[in-house]
Amino acid sequence: MSKDIVATIKENVIQGRKTQEDVGIDESFTGTPGVVELVQQALESSISPQVIITEGLTAGMQVVGEKFATKEYFIPDMLASAEGVGAAMDILKPILESSNVETKGKFAIATVKGDIHDIGKNIVAILLKGAGYEVNDLGTDVPAEKIIDVVKRDKPDFLGLSALLTTTMLEMGEIIKALEENSMRDKVKVLIGGAAVSDAFAQEIGADVYCVDGFAAVKALEAFETATT
Amino acid sequence: MPRKGILVDRPYERLTREQVELIHQASMQILTNPGLISFNREAVNILHSHGATVESVAGEHQSWQVKIPEQLVLEALDSAPKTVKLGARNPDNALIMHGDKPEVYLITGSETNIWLDVDFPTYVNKDDPSKEIRVPEFKPRRGTVDDLCQSAHVCEHLEMVDGYIRTVNIQDRDITEDNKDVNKFFASLNNNTKHFMSGLTSLEQLDNVVRMAEIIVGGKKALEDNPIISFITCLVKSPLQFVDDTTATFIEVCRRGLPIVVSSSPQAGTTAPIKEAGIMAQINAEVLAGITLGQLVKPGTPVLYGSVPVRARMDTLGDSYGSVETSQYNIDCVQMARFYKLPNYSTSGVCDSKIPGQQASIERLFSDIVVAMSGPQYLHCAFGLLDCNSVFCLLQAVLDDAHFKMIEFFLRQPRIDQPELEAMLKQIREVVATPQKLYISYIRPLLRSGEISGVYPFEGSGETDNVFELAYERMNELLAKPVEHIDRKITARIFEEIPGILPRLNIYETES
């Protein structure tokens, strides 16, 4: 029975159904419980959060990633699945914290000062949350001082900076300088993205990695994780 | 159920109603002064017996000046069917065309002499041998009956192809003027279940190809109900001349009541005036003269108003199908046909470029889009044709199919109505109230419904351009798919009754 619920969670992640109101790709799922309802059922059935995460949520996202790679799935499919996983993680977070289970890492993300463009930043936030990271979205037009404060206070493992404009992308370099001045540069990996920036720009300002899109961000974090284990 | 064409709800029109009527009047005047020169005696007799004025013209070849009175043309326009059915081996592929309904069917053609093979040799960078690229190379050669079979086979599987005009002229050593028609008809019909239209090489073979079609569909009456073949004849040579042999063919096809295209192909600048008003008045007169003759031969003969106008190239005085004016003339002709409520055979996609590439894509897409927008019923959009009418490349036909899928999508009617707008207002209000303000979740129900156009099917990865390689892969996939051949029993009957078909085309014999 418990295995059935976990397998159904995985299936619903693949279908991209956060709740029972959501439509999946397969019409036969219509009206059946989605990821949120199933995770609650699983907890009521005393299934451990670790099993829910590894065999349900992560296993489902693994399939979604494969389908995206073969062009069977598109970004809206990935986002729907990631939103489902993100909602499940919100339910599981207090239980994980009380049992001292660590998340995959803390990720602070912001669109830099002077820039209000946030589509890319929002997509990255959804995908990373769906990938199991604890995401703190600081919003748009965020001044360097606020970002420094958050890094000091919350100690995120990763900092994602986004800018669309060639004028505002320079702010990213200022933030990295401020991190250095505050002796925090080695405490946090800095990822940058946005239409105006590039790999060369990332190197120029001393960022750790340039991410062309949200999937590159997920891969970059996985690569950091592999490098440290 | 017949095939569904692309319905162009509000077709693009270049001409005002007044301009259409002016062209019509000018054409009527042309038909009485100067009239046409006919090199075909029978046509002269038919027209003369119905009131046309005829006068013998002095010259090396016997010919007559024929002046056709307006009333005769108007009566012919009355008797010509306003709806024409072009049948198909698979009845689901039949095309039903209404002269007043701009529903577009996309057709292959035309009969080129050269077949373009494609190869992908690898080139190594001299300065850095670790760098290699594959570059398409195109090799022309004379077309064969095997090529025609391949082309018909692939066009059977090209989703956007509604009907088949043979794409390549068969020039094998064992093909002669006497057996060319039966072989081109059999090769095409045996590898393609869509409507088949063709010209005729030899009038003597007309009854053989008609008999072949009757055997396939089950008899004379069955062929009347489901005319799986139709004909195209360029009976008019511009300016204003009925050619002897093609006019003879035209008359005989009309006698048999099979659908036929009255086609004229004047070249603006050489065989027609360079100015739009001039070529339009002339081509319209030429087509109306053909339609009149056809209706006099057999009233009610299903005819298509066929227009293949083209502008001359200024550097060679050859055809310039890639010129912008060529598309303008074709769109004008679509309007003229609609004015007469006759189904129209129009032309697009024929390009000046000699090989697939950027020029070919630009020229083809330009005319394909604008002419399709005008709503011709039978659009000879020349899948795979290059170098005007000279070269056929199967790879290009595969590319064209993808491009027409985009055009089909583009021509879909917008859905803007009260319920739709109410749903959108609700969606906008919901999304604006969320922190992320993204509409992405609303995409999913539409993703696989066909309501969102797809990515270009031959898109490469990263910054590489793999269009030709991917299209080539697609072409080979289509060639590997089976086609529904004519069955063994009917094939045996065809080979028994119709002389001249090459034994190697009998797949049942070659299999055993």
Q: Please write the tens of the pLDDT for every residue from B14-30.
A: 999 999 999 999 999 99
Which of A23, A76, A118 lies at the smallest CB-CB distance from B440?
A: A76
Place of tokens 């959009």: B381
**CA distance linking residue B467 with residue B149, whole number of Å:** 25
A145 and A162 fall within a common domain: yes
A79 and A15 fall within a common domain: yes
Amino acid letter for position B361: S
Contact yes or no for A23 and B444 at CB 8 A: yes
% of chain A beyond a pLDDT of 90:
60
Report if residue B454 sits inside a domain.
no
For B198, the 3-state DSSP assignment is strand
Residues 6+ apart with CB under 8 A from A59: A10, A13
Interface check for A77 against chain B (CB to CB < 8 A): the answer is: yes
Q: What is the CATH number of the domain that holds B301?
A: 3.20.20.480
Sort out which chain B residues have CB atoms less than 8 A from A75's CB and list them. Answer: 440
Q: How far is CA A57 from CA A34, A62, A129, B239, B330, in A?
A: 12, 9, 12, 75, 59
In whole angstroms, how large is the CA radius of gyration of chain B? Answer: 24
pLDDT for residue A50? 85
Which tops the pLDDT comparison, A96 or A108?
A: A108
Amino acid letter for position B410: F
Residue B11, φ and ψ in degrees, nearest 5: -65, 150
Nearest CA in chain A to B440: A76
Place of tokens 């020029």: B359
B32 confidence band (pLDDT: 50, 70, 90): very high
B316 and B432 fall within a common domain: no
pLDDT for residue B295? 98
Query: Which of A17, A71, A121, A122 best probes binding to B when mutated, by most B CB atoms within 10 angstroms?
Result: A122
Contact yes or no for A119 and B445 at CB 8 A: no
B297 and B435 fall within a common domain: no
**CA distance linking residue A102 with residue A134, whole number of Å:** 10
B313 and B340 fall within a common domain: yes
> How many domains in chain A?
2
Give the range of the structural domain holding residue A190, as residue numbers without chain letter.
106-228
Q: Which of B381, B410, B439 is the last residue of a domain?
A: B410
Q: pLDDT tens for residues B54-71?
A: 999 998 889 999 999 999
User: For chain A, first and last CA: distance in Å?
Assistant: 35
Tell whether ipTM is more than 0.85.
Answer: no
Report if residue B169 sits inside a domain.
yes
pLDDT for residue B511? 65
Report if residue B352 sits inside a domain.
yes
Q: How far is CA B174 from CA A34, B502, B509, in A?
A: 68, 8, 18
> Is A100's pLDDT higher than 60?
yes
Place of tokens 């001249």: B500
Nearest CA in chain A to B438: A119
Report if residue B457 sits inside a domain.
no
Q: Which tokens is A170 given?
A: 């320079």
Contact yes or no for A119 and B444 at CB 8 A: no
> How many domains in chain B?
2
B360 and B272 fall within a common domain: yes
- DSSP one-letter code for B272: B
A26 and A126 fall within a common domain: no
Report if residue B215 sits inside a domain.
yes
3-state secondary structure labels for all residues of chain A: CHHHHHHHHHHHHHHCCCCCCCCCCCHHHCCCCCHHHHHHHHHHCCCCHHHHHHHHHHHHHHHHHHHHHCCCCCHHHHHHHHHHHHHHHHHHHHHHHHCCCCCCCEEEEEEECCCCCCHHHHHHHHHHHHCCCEEEECCCCECHHHHHHHHHHHCCCEEEEECCCCCCCHHHHHHHHHHHHCCCHHHCEEEEECCCCCHHHHHHHCCCEECCCHHHHHHHHHHHHHHHC
Q: Are B406 and B368 in contact (CB under 8 A)?
A: no
pLDDT for residue A112? 95
A152 and A190 fall within a common domain: yes
For B363, the 3-state DSSP assignment is helix
pLDDT for residue A2? 62
Contact yes or no for B441 and A80 at CB 8 A: yes
Q: Which of A77, A98, A119 is the last residue of a domain?
A: A98
Polymer length of chain B: 512
B356 and B429 fall within a common domain: no
Query: Which of B438, B439, B440 best probes binding to A when mutated, by most A CB atoms within 10 angstroms?
Result: B440
B373 and B431 fall within a common domain: no
User: What number is the average pLDDT over the span A152-160?
Assistant: 96
**How close is the nearest chain A Cα to the Cα of B469, in Å?**
19
Sort out which chain B residues have CB atoms less than 8 A from A118's CB and list them. Answer: 436-437
> Is A1's pLDDT higher than 60?
no
A7 and A37 fall within a common domain: yes
Q: pLDDT tens for residues B419-443?
A: 999 999 999 999 999 887 888 888 9
Q: What is the CATH number of the domain that holds A75?
A: 1.10.1240.10
Interface check for A128 against chain B (CB to CB < 8 A): the answer is: no
A122 and A215 fall within a common domain: yes
Polymer length of chain A: 229
Which of A23, A118, A122 lies at the smallest CB-CB distance from B445?
A: A23
> Is B152's pLDDT higher than 70?
yes
Query: Which of A68, A75, A79, A124 best probes binding to B when mutated, by most B CB atoms within 10 angstroms?
Result: A79
B397 and B275 fall within a common domain: yes
In chain A, residues 87-126 whose CB comes closer than 8 Å to chain B = 118-119, 122-123, 125-126
Q: pLDDT tens for residues B381-425?
A: 989 999 988 999 999 999 999 999 999 999 999 999 999 999 999
B230 and B247 fall within a common domain: yes
- Of A194, A229, A222, A215, whose CA–CA distance to A81 is shortest? A215
B104 confidence band (pLDDT: 50, 70, 90): very high
User: What number is the average pLDDT over the span B232-257?
Assistant: 96
Give the range of the structural domain holding residue B439, as residue numbers without chain letter.
419-447
Report if residue B130 sits inside a domain.
yes
Within B310-417, residue ranges assigned H as helices are 324-339, 358-373, 394-410
B440 and B398 fall within a common domain: no
**CA distance linking residue A45 with residue A33, whole number of Å:** 15
Sort out which chain B residues have CB atoms less than 8 A from A122's CB and list them. Answer: 436-438
Mean pLDDT of chain B: 95
B512 confidence band (pLDDT: 50, 70, 90): low
Amino acid letter for position A133: Y
> Is A38's pLDDT higher than 90?
yes
B318 and B193 fall within a common domain: yes
B77 confidence band (pLDDT: 50, 70, 90): very high
Q: Are B285 and B27 in contact (CB under 8 A)?
A: yes
Place of tokens 């890639």: B322
Contact yes or no for A76 and B441 at CB 8 A: yes
Report if residue B509 sits inside a domain.
no
% of chain B beyond a pLDDT of 90:
89
> Is B455's pLDDT higher than 90?
no
Q: Which of A40, A66, A98 is the last residue of a domain?
A: A98
A92 and A111 fall within a common domain: no
